[in-house]
Amino acid sequence: MLSFPPAIQRLIAELARLPGIGPKTAQRLAFFLLSQERVALAELTGAILAAKEKIRYCSTCCNLAEEAACPICREGQRRRDVVCVVQDPRDVAAIERTHDFRGLYHVLHGAISPMDGIGPEQLRIKELLSRLSGGNVQELILATNPNIEGEATALYLARLIKPLGVKVTRLAHGLPVGGDLEYADELTLARALENRREM
């Protein structure tokens, strides 16, 4: 890389900071960008800056929005007494694709992880608490990831919020639908057995 002019080195270094981009891919991207017309590049940089300027957090649910309230919070027909807590805006999109959930969301923007220096203060938990103090929310569904940090975040929130008299539920750990029991991975199967329900 040292054989490249400094301006290219700088571009490669910037690109390599992006998640999932290693030095080799960064190099390929840099040379691709350089081969593009000025207009195309202006379009790209414009899009990046515009997104950064326009996007903010919804004042209610902390999801990404272009206005003070996100489209979901503005939608009239949604239940306002059920709130689903997720780690990431992409999780909202995933649950929305089911078309089954008609409540509102709350986006934490991460999960608790001491090793990464992320505590409750770094997440949108203050906003969640002030939302709950309004008294309209009857049920909080904890839909953080089914991994160690997601589980820790759910346990933390449950302990924090249950005393407020709000019903707190956790997304079930279950078997993948449409698969054979025989091929389910052992831990998922063990979890599903543990969380079995009466019929």
Interface with other proteins by CB under 8 A: which residues? 112-115, 119-120, 148-149, 151-156, 159, 185-187, 190
Quote the CA–CA distance of 164 and 190 in Å, as a whole number: 32
Q: By C-beta, is 11 or 86 nearer to other proteins?
A: 86
- Residue nearer to other proteins on the CB measure, 6 or 117: 117
Give the one entry of Zn ion, other proteins, none that residue 42 binds, where binding means its C-beta sits below a cut-off of 5 to 8 angstroms depending on kind. none
Two structure tokens written together for 97: 């694709």
* Smallest separation (angstroms) from other proteins to the CB of 168: 14
Cα(166)–Cα(137) distance, integer angstroms: 7
114 binds, among Zn ion, other proteins, none (CB under 5 to 8 A by kind): other proteins
What sections of the chain are H helices per DSSP? Answer: 6-16, 23-34, 38-54, 71-74, 89-96, 125-132, 148-161, 186-194
Report the residue from 12, 26, 73, 140 that binds Zn ion according to the rule CB under 5 A: 73
Three-class SS of 71-101: HHHHCCCCCCCEEEEECCHHHHHHHHCCCCC
Q: For residues 152 and 175, which CB has a smaller minimum distance to other proteins in the complex?
A: 152
One symbol per residue from 48 to 67: x for binding Zn ion (CB under 5 A), - otherwise; what is it? ----------x-xx-x----
Strand, coil or helix: what is 60? coil
Partner in contact with 156, chosen from other proteins, Zn ion, none, beta carbon below 5 to 8 Å by kind: other proteins
Residue 115: CB minimum distance to other proteins, A? 5
Nearer to other proteins, 28 or 159 (CB): 159
Cβ-Cβ contacts under 8 Å for 152 (sequence gap 6 or more):
111, 112, 113
List of residues contacting Zn ion (CB under 5 A): 58, 60-61, 63, 70, 73
